[in-house]
Structure 1
Amino acid sequence: MGGGGGEVCCVIVPSKWRPGLTVKISWLQGGHFQRDASGNVVMKNGNKVFIEGSWKTRTVTIPEYQAKEMQHVDIHFLPNDQVLVKLSDIFPEHPDYRPAYPREMQHTSQ
């Protein structure tokens, strides 16, 4: 299930959408904390030593938006390193949000 995420401020977009508007998204995929021979996480200067995975980058088109939708920018990381970016005035948990936010299926006992 997806839904990790977090917040970073800030993004600047034009107040009026125009065709061909794109954004470059870069993200770190994978990585791990360095461990010593005993399996303990290695610390340096009081911080865990992190070994980065690989960086991915995609330039994606920003779909058309209206002024009222300039509340926040949502970035969806999809399978096969695809990325969807959109401006919205509702959050992913809202039932009218598209694409629909993934939900765990409710299992019923029979």
Structure 2
Amino acid sequence: MKFNFRIPKRLKYYYLRELVLYKAAFSQGNLVHAWHHLERAHVIGQSYPWEHTYAHWLMLKFGLAIKDVKEILGQIPRLLVGGVKSFVGKIPLGNTGGANVPPLRSMPLPEDIQVLFKLKM
């Protein structure tokens, strides 16, 4: 079994970049773009406990901010178990992390993120 502790520096740059873009879009009231960048941050960071958990924390805060009960209720269990699943390497690759998708469903990776994952070593 492979345990994931720390996101590689190269991936962390892109993860943090998505979070910056999320925060900028959210502060400008562009909720569609904000959510898009939050989903991308989730996909990039989902194999790493801290980044995965933090993405779900931001998704919960997003749901609270827009008063979306489905998102709020969907994020609570993801927030509680997502990081543990990352730690032991049991994540559904490509899952965007929102309450609009089943938490165990693997999803296709965007091409640019596929490239990042291939180059992370």
Q: TM-score, normalised by structure 2?
A: 0.20
- Higher strand share goes to which structure? 1
Q: Using CA pairs under 8 Å that are at least 6 residues apart, name the structure with larger relative contact order, 1 or 2.
A: 2
Structure of greater Rg: 1
Q: TM-score, normalised by structure 1?
A: 0.22
- Higher helix share goes to which structure? 2
